Homo-oligomer: A and B are copies of this chain.
């Protein structure tokens, strides 16, 4: 920690700060500058918490951390890219992956039709929501356990591993029984009890970024998974909340190279949630590939205009097939398969 004192402080005021720093187990190191005195507190900031309270002291102007707060998720802890095994697949390696499927599982027919079509177009995992977090209590909340059973059936039929959302601690075992990847949604990205419950299942976890989460906070949420001894973490950028209203959210594609730099975990991009409009999904997928994403998570529906949720952002089966064709040259340009 770096503690900046206000200008013109008496030595006594300075000493009170260094005493407190040492009382808390750090070593204090004073630097007297032209305009201000700066004190370094040397020690591990992650295990010694309380220095920020020094900012309350009248002689202190600011307190600045110099260490990063995340450990296991950091590139320093694991210099090589980590990969996540999902059944027969390896995510985070040379091969680029596409997770596709409907926003919500609505019926066997809808799901099977979609699963077969996305597989034929090149998707390698099947996504589909059985439990849906909805802004309003009056909106469709998902088929629940029946949705999970349909997903399992679709996996059997197509061989595609399934990705589905976990939204309640109390469902963790049930969802883990069916799913190959547990998705944690944006509204639960800092629901730490749910993160712990997901981690404990041992299943791969796909952690979406919260709408107003800084990248550091997102990595720290991921740290909850690794710290609870589940190494199978993937992070998914899906848009942040800004003032722009043209798109539902603002997809922060720069987060892809940043997370790749700060961390070793695979990065997935969800353009459907990110922009909320199917007509923009094509361009966004190309951008995500070019910027180094390891996989895409795309909403596809046989008839989006009749979907039970988020129709406006789902691609048609044909649209998805066209997208996969258009993506190919970009996947090659990015040096992926």
Contact = CB atoms under 8 A, between A and B. Distances in A.
A74 to B, nearest CB: 10
Interface in A146-195: 167-170, 187-188, 190-194
A329 interface: yes
A42 interface: yes
Nearest to A46: B138
Contact of A49 (B140, B244, B330): B140
A256 B253 CA distance: 13
A36 B308 contact: no
A209 B253 CA distance: 18
Interface string A117-147: 0000000000000000111111110000000
Interface string A309-337: 10110100000000000000110111000
B38 A34 contact: no
Contacts of A221: 135
B135 A220 contact: yes
A297 interface: no
A305 B20 contact: yes
Contact of A191 (B53, B191, B311): B191
Contacts of A240: 212, 242-244, 250
A96 interface: no
A280 B305 contact: no
A150 to B, nearest CB: 20
Given A169-B169, A190-B187, A246-B215, A56 B278 contact: yes
A227 interface: yes
Contacts of A168: 169, 193
A35 interface: yes
A307 B50 contact: yes
Contacts of A136: 46, 69-70, 220, 223
10 contacts: A2-B38, A40-B40, A46-B136, A47-B138, A69-B138, A187-B191, A187-B192, A212-B241, A241-B241, A261-B280
Given A53-B307, A169-B170, 17 more contacts: A31-B42, A50-B308, A54-B305, A55-B277, A56-B279, A57-B305, A69-B138, A137-B228, A167-B193, A187-B190, A210-B212, A212-B241, A243-B243, A245-B245, A246-B258, A254-B280, A286-B291
